[in-house]
Structure 1
Amino acid sequence: MPMDPREIESLIKAKFPDATVEIQDLAGDGDHFAARVVTRAFKGKSRVQQHQMVYDALGGRMGGVLHALALTTQSPPD
């Protein structure tokens, strides 16, 4: 069952309330998305740690309901 991009954004923002989140449906099928997430919570974290934090926010949906998510993550400039 496809996932609504607003649900992805909502899950991420629930974990990172200060985040700027942009979601793009790459294939129009509700299974392949790109997300850009900018939050202060990423400050001092490696790219891998940032991505793990986003996957954690998605609560186990990666690889199941959400088939593919291309992530761009960063902390805001100081």
Structure 2
Amino acid sequence: MAQITDSSLREAITQRLEAVHIQVTDMSGGCGQAFSTLIVSPQFQGLGTLKRHRLVNAALKDEIAAIHAWTAKCQTPDEWARDCAKAHNTSSLAPTPQEPTDGTVR
């Protein structure tokens, strides 16, 4: 298999997972060995996180085998729209306190 690129991953994800939105980031400085992705697909509807990741890993098994590191965030179109709306709403408001990053809940 040829070297994996962000565009080849994007094409494979679009074709195999019917993704409606994809963000691919080459985390390896352009050498194609570590990728982080956001995949938005209606195929994830009704699936939990583990099943979504299994679906993605099965669809991209050859590509994943050819790289060193891989992370995927998988969302349905509704989840993605909700997160985009939330990000838009919070960015237009006055600054809010940082959410805790140590696992505590307010």
Alignment match, 1:36 = 38
TM-fit CA distance, 1:19:
2.6
| Structure holding more strand per residue | 1
Equivalent residue, structure 1, for 2:70: 69
Structure with more relative contact order (C-alpha pairs < 8 Å, separation 6 or more): 1
RMSD: 1.8
Structure 1 length-normalised TM = 0.84
Matches within 5 A, 1:1-78: 2-28=3-29, 29-62=31-64, 64-77=65-78
- What is the DSSP-based 3-state SS (H/G/I as helix, E as strand, rest coil) of the residue aligned with 2:7? helix
Q: Secondary structure at the match of 2:46?
A: coil
Letter in 1 for 2:76: S
Structure whose alpha-carbon radius of gyration is higher: 2
Task: Please report how far the alpha carbon of residue 17 of structure 1 lies from its aligned counterpart in structure 2 after TM superposition.
Answer: 2.5
Task: Structure 2: give runs of 5+ residues left out of the alignment.
Answer: 80-106
Letter in structure 1 aligned against 2:44? F
- Decide whether aligned partners of structure 1 residues 18 and 65 sit closer, same or farther in structure 2, where only a CA change above 3 A counts: closer
Matching residue's letter, 1:10: E
Alpha-carbon distance change, 68 to 40 in structure 1, aligned in 2, over 3 angstroms? same
Q: What TM-score do the two structures reach when normalised by structure 2?
A: 0.64
Give the letter aligned to residue 77 of structure 1. D
Cα distance, 1:16 vs. partner?
A: 2.3
Which of the pair is proportionally richer in helix?
Answer: 2
Asked whether the equivalents of residues 33 and 69 of structure 2 are also in contact (C-alpha less than 8 Å), the reply is yes
